[in-house]
Amino acid sequence: MIILGISLGTSRTGICILDNEKILAKNVHDYPVPWSDTKLRAILSNFRSYFKRYAIIGVIVKVPPPSRHTPALKRLMRRIEALARDHYCEVDFITKAEIKGTYVLQSTDEIIQFATKMHPELLELYQRGIKSNHKFHKKLYEAVLAAHIFYNRLKVKYLNRKKKHE
């Protein structure tokens, strides 16, 4: 089961491709230019490239709380939802508060620590971020945990379907 986890922003996004519980790909994409249709197309083009490379069955998008949804972010969310449907993928949205609640975490630092415990290969990136004082990689860790949450939801859903058909 391959899941695309996205921690969404209009300036920066974190991406995680999770196959079962293994990270196949991870990335942080920066979009420093002002919002425009060109920027929207660039962001969506990056997402499309993941669909071309991987057999994604589900997409989960970590978004800010609804009170912080700008028109640009809402438009981007709608387009991601359409992109997922075009690829016959289930799609869901989640907030940082929901991620924290699922794993009983209190802060962004705890999100990062928890993700690095689940995936020790992320520790090197975390340590480089500390040395260079770059906190922006937090989007990546949010994407990782969001992907895990969605993977577990789909796993339960498919197991329940299987039980019904037995």
pLDDT digits (tens, 9 = 90+) for 63-99: 999 999 999 999 999 999 999 999 999 999 999 999 9
| Residue at token pair 């609804």 | 66
Residue 160 — very low, low, confident or very high, per pLDDT cuts 50/70/90? confident
Give CA–CA dist 153/137, Å, rounded. Answer: 25
Classify each residue of 25-42 as buried b or exposed e, where b means 16 or more C-beta atoms within 10 Å of its C-beta.
ebebbebeeebeeebbee
Could you give the number of structural domains in the chain? 1
Give CA–CA dist 143/115, Å, rounded. Answer: 10
- Does residue 61 contact residue 77 with C-beta atoms inside 8 Å? yes
Closest CA to 43 of 25, 55, 57, 61: 61
Residue 18 — very low, low, confident or very high, per pLDDT cuts 50/70/90? very high
Give CA–CA dist 8/90, Å, rounded. Answer: 17
**What average pLDDT does this structure show over 29-36?**
93
pTM: 0.91
A 10 A CB-CB count for 125 gives 17
Cβ-in-10-Å burial (0-12, 13-18, 19+) of 102 comes to: middle
pLDDT digits (tens, 9 = 90+) for 96-150: 999 999 999 999 889 999 999 999 988 877 776 666 666 558 899 999 999 999 9
Residue 48 — very low, low, confident or very high, per pLDDT cuts 50/70/90? very high
- Does residue 56 contact residue 2 with C-beta atoms inside 8 Å? yes
The predicted structure's pLDDT at residue 92 = 97
CATH number of the domain within which 84 lies: 3.30.420.40
- Domain housing 69: 2-164
